[in-house]
């Protein structure tokens, strides 16, 4: 089981940008998206500052964010990748199952993936996540390459939205209609 010191701050840059975007969406009445905190059990607390210095994750989390966009339920996870190959071990079975169940209830599930070396963020629709996941558990490639993702889902920034993922949702929805 991971600890706060070893895993707690991974992906924080992307999450900060998403949090600012979500606040802007809320203020504009476009969406209401909430960050889901990961439950932790504190082990060490600095008594002078009352800050947690070591903690264990209580249980497996589902996704990082959940909410609604114009009445459409959405859930998604934020991931960062320093290279152009993303290991599927960074998307856990329980997360895929949660997103699959969420989709079966009429929601939209996806991942926002930030390639730090390229300074590019992509919306990865659940159908692609599921395809990559199924491939990895059925003896195929245990990762997906940058070349395999749909470049039409490149996320651009917009005024007040550093990670303007609403366009990705719109494209995802349009692809489901056809």
Binding residues: 62, 64, 77, 95
> From CA 136, how far away is CA 127, in angstroms rounded?
14
- 81 membership: H or E segment, kind and range: strand 72-81
Which residues carry a binding-site annotation for Mg(2+)?
62, 64, 77, 95
User: What strand order describes the sheet that includes 65-69?
Assistant: 31-35, 65-69, 72-81, 108-115, 120-125, 154-155
> From CA 162, how far away is CA 178, in angstroms rounded?
30
């Amino acid at each position: 089981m991971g600890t706060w010191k070893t895993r707690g701050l991974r992906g924080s840059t992307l999450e900060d940008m998403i949090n600012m975007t979500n606040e802007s969406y809320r203020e504009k009445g476009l969406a209401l998206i909430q960050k889901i905190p990961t439950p932790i059990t504190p082990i060490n607390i600095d008594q002078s500052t009352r800050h947690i210095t070591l903690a264990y994750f209580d249980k497996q989390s589902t996704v990082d964010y959940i909410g609604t966009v114009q009445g459409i339920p959405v859930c998604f996870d934020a991931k960062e990748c320093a290279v152009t190959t993303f290991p599927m071990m960074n998307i856990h079975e329980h997360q895929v199952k949660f997103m699959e169940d969420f989709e079966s209830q009429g929601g939209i599930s996806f991942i926002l993936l930030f390639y730090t070396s390229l300074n590019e963020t992509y919306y990865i629709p659940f159908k692609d996540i599921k395809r990559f996941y199924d491939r990895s558990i059925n003896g195929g490639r245990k990762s997906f390459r940058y070349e395999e993702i749909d470049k039409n889902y490149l996320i651009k920034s917009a005024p007040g939205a550093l990670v303007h993922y609403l366009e990705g949702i719109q494209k995802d929805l349009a692809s489901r209609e056809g």
